[in-house]
Amino acid sequence: MAGLDVDAVITRFRERAAAVKKRNLPPVGGDERQAFIKQAE
């Protein structure tokens, strides 16, 4: 069984975290979501 490459996992995690921050998705709920919907209209 192959060992776990911790450095590769950490690198992948950081890349995904950066990609998530750059995504242009609306907030899930709350006042920010209402503002997003209003702006989209």
Supply the Cα-derived Rg of the chain in whole angstroms. Answer: 17
Going from N- to C-terminal start, the domains of the chain cover 6-40
Averaged pLDDT, groups of 10, the chain, 41 residues long: 85 90 70 79 82
Q: What pLDDT was estimated at residue 15?
A: 92
pTM exceeds 0.75, yes or no: no
CA distance 15 to 25: 18
In the chain, what's the furthest Cα-to-Cα distance?
54
Which helix or strand (DSSP H or E) is residue 19 part of?
helix 6-22
Q: Which two tokens stand for residue 2?
A: 């192959």
Q: What pLDDT was estimated at residue 7?
A: 94
Contact partners, residue 27, CB within 8 Å, separation at least 6: 33, 36
Q: What pLDDT was estimated at residue 38?
A: 84
